Amino acid sequence: MLDLQAVSKHFGGVRAVDGVDLTVARGQILGLIGPNGSGKSTIVNLICGLFPLTSGRIVYNGADIADLPPHARVTMGIARTFQNIRLFGQLTVWQNLWVAQNSSEQRKQNFLKRWLGGSRSAREEIDRTLEFFDLAHKRDELAGNLAFGEQRRLEFARALSAKPALLLLDEPAAGMNAEEIDQLDGRIRRMRQDGITVLLIEHHVELVMSVADRIAVLNFGQKIAEGTPAAVQANPVVREAYLGTAAAA
């Protein structure tokens, strides 16, 4: 579904991403891990079109999308969450999902008509998504007034409301407690059952090891390992990247 071919992004002399090859198969959960500053979020920003490539290709469903603007990639079925929450704080919870849903409706209806009501099925779909993320009781509250964990869930729900085929999750467990992470685990698994392909960036290694089919590891902008969770955990190069050498310790 997604194929990154020798992808690089340089900021002056800083090689944030340096010649990375990465493939995400349809229906797969691929975990992307690595120390801080290893290039994980830069990869997501390149896939979404927020950063232009320095070199390489990004192929999605057989088409090179490297020159497409972000909104065109959303229309093609790519959605994301952000490491730092970016909600519409002055809109209600329900309206945040409506805005995301609008991006996937292919402008079938006039914007004003949708704002004033829209189709019954579209409204019911938003309500089901709110139920799934345990936010139905907050539907009329301003997003900016939600607790941190609720805002995390709302951002996840908003991404899902765009009806993605490929969902990019950038550290969705950040700031969550153990119970919320368990719930997140279940929601990610449910999305795979529903046919959504997931690229998961996460520092909570236990979560990644639990849900991912395969894991790729970045360090200093380069991919240093890829394989099953068990193989990656046992890889001495990965251990060194996270823990340092025995001498350094």
* This prediction's pTM: 0.88
Distance CA 186, CA 189 (A): 5
What local confidence, expressed as pLDDT, does residue 246 receive? 44
Query: Which pLDDT belongs to residue 107?
Result: 46
The pLDDT value recorded for residue 84 is 86
Helix (H), strand (E) at residue 149: helix 148-161
Residues contacting residue 110 through CB under 8 Å, at least 6 positions apart: none
Output the pLDDT for position 112.
Answer: 54
Amino acid at 227: G
The pLDDT tens digits along the chain (249 residues) read: 999 999 999 999 999 999 999 999 999 999 999 999 999 999 999 999 999 999 999 999 999 999 999 999 999 999 999 888 889 999 999 999 988 887 555 444 555 555 555 567 788 899 999 999 999 999 999 999 999 989 999 999 999 988 899 999 999 998 889 999 999 999 999 999 999 999 999 989 899 999 999 999 999 999 999 999 999 999 999 988 886 654 343
**Closest residue by Cα to residue 165 from 39, 81, 86, 60:** 60
User: Contact at 8 Å (CB) between 130 and 154?
Assistant: no
Pick from 196, 243, 160: nearest CA to 30: 196
For residues 72 and 104, is the Cβ–Cβ distance under 8 A? no
pLDDT at 116: 54
**Tokens at 233, concatenated:** 């955990």
Cα separations (Å) of 135 from 126, 154, 179, 239? 11, 8, 16, 39
Domains and CATH numbers, the chain: 26-50+69-243 (3.40.50.300)
* Confidence at residue 126, expressed as pLDDT on a 0 to 100 scale: 92
Closest CA to 168 of 60, 63, 67: 60
- Give the residue from 96, 208, 73, 191 showing the smallest Cα distance to 152: 96
Q: C-alpha distances in angstroms, 47 versus 4, 60, 155, 223?
A: 9, 9, 18, 16
User: What residues does 24 pair with on adjacent strands?
Assistant: 2
Tokens of 47: 């896939």
Find the angle CA(137)-CA(199)-CA(164) to the nearest 5 degrees: 55
